[in-house]
Amino acid sequence: MEKRKVIIDTDPGIDDTYAIVAALSYKGFDVLGITVVAGNVGLDNCVVNALGVVNLMNADCFVYPGAQTSLNQLDNFETYDLKTSVHGEGGLGSVTLTPDFSKRSETHAVDFILETVKENPGEVEIITLGPLTNIALAIRKDKETMKKVKKIWSMGGGVRFGNRTPVAEFNYWADPEAAKETYALGEDIEINMIGLDVTQQTRFTLDDLFFLQTECGELGALLSEMSNHYTKIYWDSLRITGVVVHDLVAVMLAIDPSLSNEDDIFNRVNLSIEHEGMCRGQTVVQLSPNGMYEDAGPKNANVYMGIDNTAFRKAFIKLCFPKAYPMYIKYIL
């Protein structure tokens, strides 16, 4: 089977790390490069974290630094109060990875994306795990080339609720103009929105984290340790025991969309993004399959609204820790 050509755009980030590990573990992906955008923490920190994951996985792809501020420059991600980041000051909870600086490219993320798509028209899938600034900058620089992207899988948005505000999810809230300009391309290319409605249906339980810690080697222990930073936040904010690994859901669905029932995938619907005011970053989606709403515009997105959580957890363990999988099935599930 020919490998799928993939670029990962990310702001690592604890859940980004799970997602990158899964994407690099999947034999059906040829991860051509990892482009970085500021988001969870500042750009430099995100780049170091991405270099750490590439080193941890002994991956042969390069890391391409990208945008460190949102499109309209109003929110310089570097100025985020890092101590309040959900992902901790360094972006990976209490974990520090060893970066392989030899894998840091001097090519800007936007130029890498455009060059790669130009060389592989109609073949490159982009999985976005952070704010969409790099994608929007690429569209602004060369829209015709970006129309040759095969598809985009984007962790972001939320139809029924938000997490950065009551109505907006962090990635699209952080740079709503970029999200708006990205989805404007949705009439020309397939964009799959993997929002909170689906990610928050998944849960790695405390038993899952214990299993990662004790039965999945150094990699599992690192992922579990990173997540420990999260558990208190999820309990305090949502009374959830365990963690929601949002970005991993986007990668696992890109690998296998059948983790979602067909009737939980709303294909070719209209999605618009509020980009200012109290509802900044809100994704307004015309989900009605029967056109109940006034048809508000172009069909520019496929929106995932559900997933089989047990199948998702099993697929991740089977992909990344196959030797431990039988024990996981027997004692944890």
**Residue pair 26/145 in contact by the 8 Å Cβ criterion:** no
Binding range to ligand RIB, per CB under 6 A, among 57-65, 162-170, 204-212, 229-237: 162-170
Transcribe 113-168 into DSSP letters: HHHHHHHSTTTEEEEE-S-SHHHHHHHHH-HHHHTT--EEEEE---SS--SSSSSB
Does 88 bind Ca ion (CB under 5 A)? Our answer is: no
Among 26, 112, 170, 230, binds ligand RIB (CB under 6 A): 170
Q: Comparing C-alpha atoms, which of 160, 172, 61 is closest to residue 109?
A: 61
x/- letters, 276..305, toward ligand RIB (CB under 6 A): ------------------------------
User: Residue 36: which H helix or E strand, with range?
Assistant: strand 29-36
CB nearer ligand RIB, residue 7 or residue 114? 7
Residue type, 250: A
Q: Cα(37)–Cα(43) distance, rounded to whole angstroms?
A: 6
131-160 residues in contact with ligand RIB (CB under 6 A) are 155
Shortest Å, Cβ 247 to Ca ion: 5
Does 247 bind ligand RIB (CB under 6 A)? Our answer is: yes
Q: Which residues contact 64 (CB under 8 A, 6 or more apart)?
A: 33, 34, 35, 36, 105, 107, 108, 109, 112
Active site residue 275: no
CB nearer ligand RIB, residue 16 or residue 177? 16
CB nearer ligand RIB, residue 39 or residue 324? 39
Active site residue 246: yes
C-alpha Rg value of the chain to the nearest Å: 18
Does 129 bind Ca ion (CB under 5 A)? Our answer is: yes
Q: Which residues contact 136 (CB under 8 A, 6 or more apart)?
A: 71, 175, 177, 178, 179, 181, 182
Does 175 bind ligand RIB (CB under 6 A)? Our answer is: no
Select which of 87, 229, 246, 275 is catalytic: 246
Q: Cα(36)–Cα(109) distance, rounded to whole angstroms?
A: 7
Give the number of other Cβ atoms within 10 Å of residue 243's Cβ. 26
How many of the chain's residues bind Ca ion (CB under 5 A)? 6
x/- letters, 6..25, toward ligand RIB (CB under 6 A): -----x-x-xx---------
Per CB under 6 A, residues contacting ligand RIB are 11, 13, 15-16, 39-40, 129-130, 155, 163, 169-171, 246-247
Per CB under 5 A, residues contacting Ca ion are 11, 13, 16, 129-130, 247
| Residues classed as catalytic | 11, 246
